[in-house]
Chain A
Amino acid sequence: AQSVTQLGSHVSVSEGALVLLRCNYSSSVPPYLFWYVQYPNQGLQLLLKYTSAATLVKGINGFEAEFKKSETSFHLTKPSAHMSDAAEYFCAVSEEGGYNKLIFGAGTRLAVHP
Chain B
Amino acid sequence: DGGITQSPKYLFRKEGQNVTLSCEQNLNHDAMYWYRQDPGQGLRLIYYSQIVNDFQKGDIAEGYSVSREKKESFPLTVTSAQKNPTAFYLCASTPFGRENIQYFGAGTRLSVL
Instruction: Give B38 Cβ to nearest chain A Cβ, in Å.
Output: 11
CB pair B100–A100 under 8 Å, yes or no, is yes
CB pair A46–B101 under 8 Å, yes or no, is yes
CB pair B106–A42 under 8 Å, yes or no, is yes
Rounded to whole angstroms, the CA-CA distance of A4 and B109 in the bound complex is: 26
Pick the contact of A44: B50, B90, B94 (CB < 8 A): B90
CB pair B106–A43 under 8 Å, yes or no, is yes
Q: Is the interface of A mostly helix, strand, loop or mixed?
A: loop
Query: How many residues of B are in contact with the other chain, CB < 8 A?
Result: 29
Check B98 for interface membership: any CB of A closer than 8 A: yes
- The proximity string for B residues 12-47 relative to A, scoring 1 for CB distances below 8 Å and 0 otherwise, is 000000000000000000010100000011110100
Q: Which residue of A lies closest to B97 (CB)?
A: A100
Q: Which residue of A lies closest to B100 (CB)?
A: A100
Query: How many residues of A are in contact with the other chain, CB < 8 A?
Result: 24
Instruction: Give A12 Cβ to nearest chain B Cβ, in Å.
Output: 16
CB pair A101–B90 under 8 Å, yes or no, is no
CB pair B109–A101 under 8 Å, yes or no, is no
Rounded to whole angstroms, the CA-CA distance of A32 and B103 in the bound complex is: 16
Rounded to whole angstroms, the CA-CA distance of A44 and B37 in the bound complex is: 11
Pick the contact of A9: B40, B43, B106 (CB < 8 A): B40
Check B107 for interface membership: any CB of A closer than 8 A: yes
Check B63 for interface membership: any CB of A closer than 8 A: no
Residues of chain B lying within 8 A (CB to CB) of residue A101: 33, 45, 48
Rounded to whole angstroms, the CA-CA distance of A94 and B27 in the bound complex is: 20
CB pair A41–B109 under 8 Å, yes or no, is yes
Residues of chain B lying within 8 A (CB to CB) of residue A98: 96, 98
Instruction: Give B57 Cβ to nearest chain A Cβ, in Å.
Output: 12
Residues of chain B lying within 8 A (CB to CB) of residue A99: 31, 48, 50, 56
Q: Which of A77-114 contact B (CB under 8 A)?
A: 90, 94-95, 98-102, 104-107
Q: Which residues of A contact B (CB under 8 A)?
A: 9, 32, 34, 36, 41-46, 49, 51, 90, 94-95, 98-102, 104-107
8 A-B residue pairings within 8 Å (CB atoms): A43-B107, A45-B104, A90-B43, A100-B98, A101-B48, A104-B42, A105-B42, A106-B40
